[in-house]
Structure 1
Amino acid sequence: MWNLGRGQLVLPTTVGVLVLVFGAGALAIASAPADTPVAIWWPAAGISVALLALAPRRWWWWLTVGVAVATGAANLVMDRPLDLALWLGVANAGEAYVAASFLRWRRRPLRELAGLDVFLRLVAAAVLGGVTMALVAATGILVLTDGSFTQTLRSLSLSHAASTLVVLPIVMAPAIRRQARLAWELPLQLGILIAVTVLVFAPGQTLSLEFLPLPFLIGAALRFDLGIVAWELAGFAVFVILTSSAGHGPFGFDFERGEVSGLGMGAVLQAFVVATALMTLPLAISVEQRRRLLEQVSSSEKLTSATLDTAATLILVTDLYGEVLRVNAATLALTGFDEPELVGKEIWEMPFAPPGSTGYPAGLPEATDAQASRETDVVTRSGDKRRVLWNTSFVRDDRERPTYVVITGTDLTAERTAAGLTRHLLDAAATTAMIGIDPRGRITVFNAGAVNLLGYDAQDILETSFTDLLDVDQVQQRCHGATGDEAFQQLVAGIGAAGETAPRDWTWIGDDGRRHTVSMTLSIAADTFAARVGYLCVGRDVTEARASQEMLIAALEKERLAVQRMKDLDEAKNEFVSTVSHELRTPVTSIVGYTEMLEDGTLVEPAPEQRPLLQSIARNGQRLILLCDDLLTLSGIDSGAARWERNAVDLSAILVGAEDALRAQLAGRDLEVVVMSTDGPIPVLGDKVQLERALTNLLSNAIKFTEDGGRIEVSAKVHEGEAWLTVSDTGIGVPLEEQEGLFQRFFRSSSAQQRAIQGTGLGLSIVAAIVATHGGEIDVRSAHLEGTTFTIRLPLARG
């Protein structure tokens, strides 16, 4: 989980690392000498920086708090005052945030430690983090205790920078490769390193031999992967610091004798660790870069070899003096000679060159950016002759200087024999008719495909007129009444610049009188010197295909007529709905009006038991009027009769009016309606009344389908160059499987039907139609019993 490219941090691992930060901090304080106010080394610093550098940035705010709590708790449990522990916890968190931010500059992922530029960034991050922590912590020690600001600053800067410089390479190193020598060389090197380190820093050992382990660490950098070196460096640093803090080894001996203070010994130890890291890590990185470069060169060489060996042409590479340096597999296969017989010899001494050959097969080009070409014979080991087209060109370096000569040869032997095979091809049984015609229009070649198609005998049909094969009436129609030779001349006159006529269906007459529909092409037949020697007719029997096409066209025509009838029926339906809605609205309006007059006592005071009946009549009448209005609106949109304004409308201003219009629906309801204010106007181009109607319909739905105690939010904003109008509620929602038909007319979700919520199912279809006419789109996000969010996206009005 820690190494780059081998997975991402997950929450359980992150919590475990925070526990590790706490443990490392407590251990560092416990192992510090008695006369030092701060720990000599603080491994928790490197672990904290690694944690933030590997974690997603959205976790950083709570991870920073977690680092502060973990390191503060480590100081607190080791009997440090609460105020000082909190101060040091904040300092450690600030260090982790600064160093990780520098490593993840511009929100980039943590880079692999595979280059010196990344290592320099790591060093800079370690220094920045260490100085940040030291400044904050030294200030706290100066304020809360009687410690020295300067000594604390120096000691903490070194210890925390060294910790980051030792821990981070472990997580930034490339993945360790499996190598055969790791099975024996690594244990041997590691055993010697451990033995020498223990000997140098053993109790009672006073000689200044701290340099002895360094050659073995440097040897690891030269022999092993960077990940192994990073682990060995970290283990070496931990062992040296712990033993020295206990008074052992060269550094601990001076401390025990009182020749150096605890802080002084800590500074020397950290300088030693930093120097060790600066010697081993850059060397290991350089070795890793060299290994990768060699792998790239090897891959490039393999690619070149594969390219040469898979090429079907002969390829020879020579130096500028004509010595053959390389040949490809095709050259060996064609000539029959082995590679040692060709490589190292002069090009004009090749064993496959014909007798008397001198110089390059095609000569050398006059300019370095040109080519030279020529055909020659090649004699193979078996004595066969092959005809090869040679091309010679120079290979130039970056300064455009010629460095090598590349000779390519194309075997033309097969092409030279192709002419003799043409006759066999024409005579072979085939489904394509090929007919050779002389300039006079007489048939000279009649292949097996033509025999199979028409049934004529090939010998009998020769020297007959080609037009005799065609339907007479069709020839006269297409050749303006011409027949015979005159008709043939008009046919070949249609051969264009491409050398052939476009494929065209003709009716051919077979020997049995059967009519065949043939897709026919006429092309010019020319010899080597482009002299016209005749024509070639290629025909393919498409009788069945054309019959199938005609059946398909007839079927498509029937389908088109059916679609047109359905369209006419839809238009008739819309007209019927519009007419009925108009006719129904007038009497219903009268009913509602007279009902209101009866209810308010204009004519006669109604009896108390009559008022509920009158109210029911008026209420249902209003529902019928709204239904008629919705149907008329949809009918006008469908027919294109609706004429809406196109003015600049402030979308944010519509929110206030919509809230006032729905105040009556909110009466007696326990709903929280929140209207999000905007920072400025949101201009769109459209009809304000219709946009208000779309918003009102969405809000009305939200009120209708949200139970008491719920919440409705409406907002408008500019997002990604569009105006967004959003209505969100915590209502009963719409099941996912039913959302496809949500904007269809008269659609009612199963949730609404089960709860007997009244509605016509036209509101959302009207909203969708209004949004579509404004060039926008509407999205819905909902689920059963999880609320619903509608988002209208409209193009912004251009200023």
Structure 2
Amino acid sequence: MSFSGRLASWPAAGVLLALAYVAGLNAVAFAPQADSVAAWWPAAGLSVGLLVVQPRTRWPVLAVAIVVVTGLASITAGRDVGVTALFSVGNAAEALVAASILRRGSDRAPVLDSSDVLVRLLIAAVLGGAAVTVVGVLTVALTGTAGPVSTAWTFFTSHTAATLIIVPALISPPLRHRLLVRPTELALQAATLIALTLVVFSPNQDLSASFIPLPVLVWAALRIDLRALTWELVAFSVVVTLLSANGFGPFGFDYERGAISASTLGTLVQGYLLCAMLLTVPLAVAVHQRRRLIRELARSEKLTNATLHTIPTMILVTDLYGEVVRINGGTTAVTGYVESDLVGRPIWEMPFAPPGSTGYPAGLPDEPDGHVSRETDVITNLGRRRRVLWNAGYVRDERDRPTHVVISGTDLTRERRTAGFNRHIFEAAITTALIGIDTDGRITVFNSGAANLLGHDAQDMVGTPFTDLLDPDQLAERTRTGPGEPAFAHLVAGAETSGTATPRDWIWVDADGRHHTVSMSLSAVTDSITAHYGFLCVGRDVTEARASQEMLIAALEKERLAVQRMRDLDAAKNDFVSTVSHELRTPVTSIVGYTEMLEDGSLVEPAPAQVPLLESIARNGQRLILLCDDLLTLSGLDSGVTSWERNALDLASVSTGAEDALRAQLVGRDLELVIAASARPVPVLGDHGQLERVLTNLLSNAIKFTDDGGRIEVTIDAHDGEARLAVADTGVGIPAAEQSGMFERFFRSTTAQERAIPGTGLGLSIVAAIVAAHGGRIDVRSAHLEGTTITVRLPLAARPTS
């Protein structure tokens, strides 16, 4: 039973209501005495989660319980009874709205294991928060206990953040029996998060370092289970809220010295926690979906391989160009050739094909859903000749377009080696049905193979119509005859004209009424002077072969669908990251812009005590903007929507913009920066802005990872027919064992982690993508504590001739 399933009981409901009471009591206790609105309200998330995991039939009772519990918490903490009653009704309304959206008519609690549930959670949190905000604003407007604008912000941020942080912990998928990472990594991640949180939110901490714990939560989203991340996020939110309310950390420090109000403190903290959730939970859901699809694909591939290798029939799969892409163990058993001898070669160049053969062994079906059969010889790797009955059919996609050809072959060598075409074959043929038919369509000979196949006595069948053996519906459909019409004449028309009708699969009905798929061929029998006196029917039961072929086709189809789902998920993940990054960047840009206006006194001259606060907001806002820009850049590169300019430019020209962009980063640092550009132009074709970003990212890394007193040198020149841009520093370097992964996303060297050097690990991956798009390459020369030299080499553009 899942975790949310265990919560769907009355005792669990009582526990959640008790937690809501304790949370509400503490939230009111931390609220300012002059304000009737609590700046944080975890009881909202617990109330929504309570209704989400409980059956719908209990919602009316539980909604009343929410009103009572939240109201009792506020009254116990000394709040006004009238205001408390209205607020409590708003809490219940919020829980009902959010739970209804999350459940969406379902009788079971949702599980946060897909992007659809995540989007519903976001919508539910926003609409639930809006519902309680409306009730709260109307309440304070009637009572005059607080301002409507501040009330709206406080209500919306605190309730939305509580829902988005607490509800995922209640509906996330259960932990797997075996962790995806080692316990040591989980312990290290948790210890790192605890340590960084306590350092960033320690007493008298006025540094703008609130972003530092976020990469550790991203670590959990990428590497550890989704359930573990959601509970870490809940614990992180409780600790950050409590420490900030007590005056600790960058938010609490400003509140403690009176720079911001208690309601502003609550709004900032809840907004910060909301950003942490939006940064990590969607990523964790996408990673969870990807892992699940990989497991399904592995199971599907295992089933396909097992199906292929347990069938004794020869199976070869080719693409539409005739290249063999897979064989089974039966093929090796019959021919002696292993997979490496056959896969990757055209079907008409198979080493087992007899001399002079061309094309597919059985040909290709004329009808989309048809099958074709043909017997040919096969030459084994030891030079022995074997007789094989080939069948071929198409594998089709969801649009009914052919994607592959499946060829199955049945070894008939033993049957063909029996001597004597007449009496001996008729008596010894156990698996092949041989039936003689006169010109009127009646059976004259019924061998033991036919008797074993159909369960009829041979003597009883002589004189009966041959068409009685065939499925009547299929016979009528293929011969286009109605009841009572002579279907046999249509059946043997091809044999009378050419002597042998094309082999075709037919459904035969045995004595017990069971259906068998039989590969049947009809041949005209003539005497020495070509007098036509009957027909010979040769039939072989291919029911199992056709079933095996259908199993293979189904397995291949399932595998294709799993691959397509993975591609769709990857595209959805890229779209979601791009959307979230874009939506975060817009408000952050506005915050930074207004902050700069306050700093330079465009609106009003700031007080001296406010200047550090404004600078702190601007710095953190710029960090968030850079993070959003990196995510948007990577998303654009993944989806292929990034447009590139292709202009002729001097590579040395990118140094000016990069130097200007990093001038602020050099303030207060004792570093020697030398830019040595060639006196002659270094012409390249490319996007000036993107190439400038390459140098900016490389220089930014060099500045961050070089201690004061160090030297950074940029060299731009043409060398060995290539444009060369090299950034060398005397910094901490990169261990040789870690250099292979330094251009992957979120790469952080152990040296950077030990020294707690900030960064997201996205800069070098962006550099690699831009350089690759320009047809260039990157060389790295580095060692631990011995500095780093990164050299970008680009194709030189032809200089214009005079």
TM-score of the pair, normalised by structure 1: 0.52
Does the C-alpha gap of structure 1 residues 142 and 366 become closer, same or farther in structure 2, counting only changes over 3 Å? closer
Q: Is the 8 A contact 1:363 1:392 kept in 2?
A: yes
Q: Is the 8 A contact 1:22 1:74 kept in 2?
A: yes
1:420 deviates by 6.6
SS in 2 for 1:315: strand
Does the C-alpha gap of structure 1 residues 7 and 415 become closer, same or farther in structure 2, counting only changes over 3 Å? farther
1:98 deviates by 1.9
Q: Is the 8 A contact 2:419 2:425 kept in 1?
A: no
Q: Larger deviation: 285-294 or 227-236?
A: 285-294
1:38 deviates by 2.4
Q: Is the 8 A contact 1:32 1:245 kept in 2?
A: no
Cα shift readout 1:238-267 (whole Å, capped 9, x = no counterpart): 111111011100000111111111111111
Q: Is the 8 A contact 1:35 1:262 kept in 2?
A: no
Does the C-alpha gap of structure 1 residues 8 and 444 become closer, same or farther in structure 2, counting only changes over 3 Å? closer
Q: Is the 8 A contact 2:175 2:225 kept in 1?
A: yes
Identity %: 46
Letter in 1 for 2:25: A
Cα shift readout 1:356-407 (whole Å, capped 9, x = no counterpart): 5454434566888776643211123444432112344555666777654443
Cα shift readout 1:188-243 (whole Å, capped 9, x = no counterpart): 11111111111100111110100111111112111122212211111111111111
Residues 350-499 of structure 1: matches in 2 within 5 Å? 350-363=350-363, 373-392=373-392, 395=395, 404-416=404-416, 495-496=464-465, 498=467
1:533 deviates by 8.9
Aligned to 1:208: 208
Residues 737-748 of structure 1: matches in 2 within 5 Å? none
Aligned to 1:271: 271
Aligned to 1:119: 118
Aligned to 1:292: 292
CA distance in 2 between partners of 1:363 and 1:426 (Å): 29
Letter in 2 for 1:106: G
Aligned to 1:726: none
Letter in 2 for 1:41: W
Cα shift readout 1:273-300 (whole Å, capped 9, x = no counterpart): 1111111111112222222333333333
SS in 2 for 1:181: coil
Letter in 2 for 1:262: A
SS in 1 for 2:105: helix
* Alignment pair present for 1:332 and 2:332: yes
Letter in 2 for 1:311: I
1:424 deviates by 8.5
Q: Is the 8 A contact 1:3 1:172 kept in 2?
A: yes
Q: Is the 8 A contact 2:24 2:73 kept in 1?
A: yes
Does the C-alpha gap of structure 1 residues 497 and 132 become closer, same or farther in structure 2, counting only changes over 3 Å? same
1:48 deviates by 0.7
CA distance in 2 between partners of 1:2 and 1:32 (Å): 36
Residues 226-245 of structure 1: matches in 2 within 5 Å? 226-245=226-245
Aligned to 1:262: 262
CA distance in 2 between partners of 1:419 and 1:110 (Å): 71
Q: Is the 8 A contact 2:388 2:410 kept in 1?
A: yes
1:332 deviates by 1.0
Cα shift readout 1:91-123 (whole Å, capped 9, x = no counterpart): 222221222122223354332222223222211
1:70 deviates by 0.8
Does the C-alpha gap of structure 1 residues 313 and 207 become closer, same or farther in structure 2, counting only changes over 3 Å? same
SS in 1 for 2:258: coil
Aligned to 1:309: 309
CA distance in 1 between partners of 2:367 and 2:344 (Å): 26
Letter in 2 for 1:186: L
Does the C-alpha gap of structure 1 residues 374 and 68 become closer, same or farther in structure 2, counting only changes over 3 Å? same
Q: Is the 8 A contact 1:314 1:331 kept in 2?
A: yes
Letter in 2 for 1:205: Q
Residues 681-700 of structure 1: matches in 2 within 5 Å? none
Does the C-alpha gap of structure 1 residues 379 and 173 become closer, same or farther in structure 2, counting only changes over 3 Å? same
* Alignment pair present for 1:194 and 2:163: no
CA distance in 2 between partners of 1:404 and 1:444 (Å): 41
* Alignment pair present for 1:148 and 2:150: no
Mind listing any 5+ residue stretches in structure 2 that lack a counterpart?
A: 429-435, 449-458, 470-510, 512-520, 527-532, 537-802
1:8 deviates by 5.5
Cα shift readout 1:657-692 (whole Å, capped 9, x = no counterpart): xxxxxxxxxxxxxxxxxxxxxxxxxxxxxxxxxxxx
Does the C-alpha gap of structure 1 residues 137 and 533 become closer, same or farther in structure 2, counting only changes over 3 Å? closer
Letter in 2 for 1:13: A
Does the C-alpha gap of structure 1 residues 533 and 37 become closer, same or farther in structure 2, counting only changes over 3 Å? closer
Cα shift readout 1:111-154 (whole Å, capped 9, x = no counterpart): 22222232222112112222222222333344345322321222
Aligned to 1:138: 137
Q: Is the 8 A contact 1:45 1:164 kept in 2?
A: yes
* Alignment pair present for 1:14 and 2:13: yes
CA distance in 1 between partners of 2:344 and 2:159 (Å): 62
Does the C-alpha gap of structure 1 residues 422 and 216 become closer, same or farther in structure 2, counting only changes over 3 Å? farther
Does the C-alpha gap of structure 1 residues 175 and 419 become closer, same or farther in structure 2, counting only changes over 3 Å? farther
Does the C-alpha gap of structure 1 residues 356 and 200 become closer, same or farther in structure 2, counting only changes over 3 Å? same
1:22 deviates by 0.7
Q: Is the 8 A contact 1:2 1:9 kept in 2?
A: no
Residues 640-679 of structure 1: matches in 2 within 5 Å? none
Q: Is the 8 A contact 2:180 2:224 kept in 1?
A: no
SS in 1 for 2:44: helix
Cα shift readout 1:33-55 (whole Å, capped 9, x = no counterpart): 45543222111110111111111
Q: Larger deviation: 278-287 or 158-167?
A: 278-287
Residues 707-726 of structure 1: matches in 2 within 5 Å? none
SS in 1 for 2:175: coil
CA distance in 1 between partners of 2:535 and 2:361 (Å): 38
Does the C-alpha gap of structure 1 residues 323 and 185 become closer, same or farther in structure 2, counting only changes over 3 Å? same
Aligned to 2:779: none
CA distance in 2 between partners of 1:297 and 1:233 (Å): 31
CA distance in 2 between partners of 1:304 and 1:446 (Å): 38
Aligned to 1:341: 341
Letter in 2 for 1:29: V
SS in 2 for 1:37: coil
Q: Is the 8 A contact 1:68 1:90 kept in 2?
A: yes
CA distance in 2 between partners of 1:262 and 1:64 (Å): 30
Does the C-alpha gap of structure 1 residues 167 and 446 become closer, same or farther in structure 2, counting only changes over 3 Å? closer
Does the C-alpha gap of structure 1 residues 494 and 22 become closer, same or farther in structure 2, counting only changes over 3 Å? same
Cα shift readout 1:599-619 (whole Å, capped 9, x = no counterpart): xxxxxxxxxxxxxxxxxxxxx
Does the C-alpha gap of structure 1 residues 145 and 322 become closer, same or farther in structure 2, counting only changes over 3 Å? closer
SS in 1 for 2:389: strand
Does the C-alpha gap of structure 1 residues 317 and 230 become closer, same or farther in structure 2, counting only changes over 3 Å? same
The alignment's C-alpha RMSD in Å is: 4.2
Letter in 2 for 1:495: T
Aligned to 2:222: 222
SS in 2 for 1:176: coil
1:86 deviates by 2.6
1:338 deviates by 2.1
Q: Is the 8 A contact 1:527 1:533 kept in 2?
A: no
Does the C-alpha gap of structure 1 residues 268 and 445 become closer, same or farther in structure 2, counting only changes over 3 Å? closer
Letter in 1 for 2:223: R
Aligned to 1:84: 83
Letter in 1 for 2:13: T
Does the C-alpha gap of structure 1 residues 93 and 348 become closer, same or farther in structure 2, counting only changes over 3 Å? closer
Q: Is the 8 A contact 2:54 2:109 kept in 1?
A: no
SS in 2 for 1:408: strand
Does the C-alpha gap of structure 1 residues 269 and 369 become closer, same or farther in structure 2, counting only changes over 3 Å? same
Q: Is the 8 A contact 1:33 1:246 kept in 2?
A: no
Letter in 2 for 1:293: L
Residues 86-101 of structure 1: matches in 2 within 5 Å? 86-101=85-100
Mind listing any 5+ residue stretches in structure 1 that lack a counterpart?
A: 429-435, 448-465, 467-490, 501-518, 520-525, 536-799
CA distance in 1 between partners of 2:468 and 2:20 (Å): 83
Does the C-alpha gap of structure 1 residues 33 and 421 become closer, same or farther in structure 2, counting only changes over 3 Å? farther
Residues 609-624 of structure 1: matches in 2 within 5 Å? none
